[in-house]
Amino acid sequence: MNVGRLAWRTPTGAMLWEIWGRHKVKFLWQGVALTASAFFVYWKEHGASGSFGEVLGMASFCCFLVAYLHLMVCFAYIETDARKVQLGFPGRLLLKPVSTVRLVLVPMVFGGAVIVTTFALWIGLVLPHLSAINVTNLLWFSTVLLSLFWWMQALAWSLPLLKVRSAILLLVVAIHLLVLLLPFLVTTFGSGWIRESVWRWGILAALLVSAVPVAGIGL
């Protein structure tokens, strides 16, 4: 008995296999972008001139942004309904004998895990070598990206027919951008690093936790 094949035949396995089957060729470009960026930062630190080194650093960061956006597209579990010209959760899955909890958690948890793992590779090979990024804030950066990914999923699944959805999406992106910049902003909250860290992480935790029920209620 092939246990691996049986695992793919479960509802969860089928959902994951669909993600892999549709995008497996594109995932090769993730490795290409990471390898190229690692080469760029090595070149930047070992022989590139000042101005050219800055260009290499910018190219590395652009590769990271493109790779992250690509992962969001691959794992968001969002499809276009050609009849209604709208993005939303794959409607055919809502007709299957699968619980709403599983429909929500499989793409969110699995996609989030892949994004965080991939980001860890970028942390190990590229991002700390870019002077514009503070190494001590990489954990904060990765958690904000995870929250943004979950909220993009939640809103796309929950608001497929709402005309002002684009405005809400932009608002969510702006909120996460502001949260991302919190460690760099001068604040009067609390006294000392510990209290400041607690309220910052509290805001981010609230964003993460609230994204899951929003997605569930939307479905």
pLDDT exceeds 70 at position 1: no
Yes or no: say if 75 and 19 are a contact pair by the CB < 8 Å rule. Answer: yes
CA–CA distance, 89 with 151 (Å, rounded to integer): 14
Q: 208 Cβ partners below 8 Å, 6+ apart?
A: 143, 146, 147, 150
Domain ranges of the chain: 3-218
Q: What is the pLDDT of residues 134-149, one digit of tens each?
A: 656 778 888 898 999 8
Query: Cα dist. 76→10, 16, 82, 112, 141 in Å?
Result: 20, 12, 18, 9, 19
Total-model pTM? 0.76
- Percentage of the chain beyond pLDDT 90 is 9
Six-digit token string for 196: 């400041």
CA–CA distance, 9 with 1 (Å, rounded to integer): 13
Yes or no: say if 129 and 45 are a contact pair by the CB < 8 Å rule. Answer: yes
Q: Which of 85 and 175 is assigned the larger pLDDT? A: 175
Six-digit token string for 211: 């994204």
CA–CA distance, 113 with 144 (Å, rounded to integer): 14
Q: Identify the DSSP state of 46.
A: T
pLDDT exceeds 50 at position 85: no
User: What are the respective helix, strand and coil percentages of the chain, to the nearest 5?
Assistant: 75, 5, 20
pLDDT category at 195 given cuts 50, 70, 90 is: low
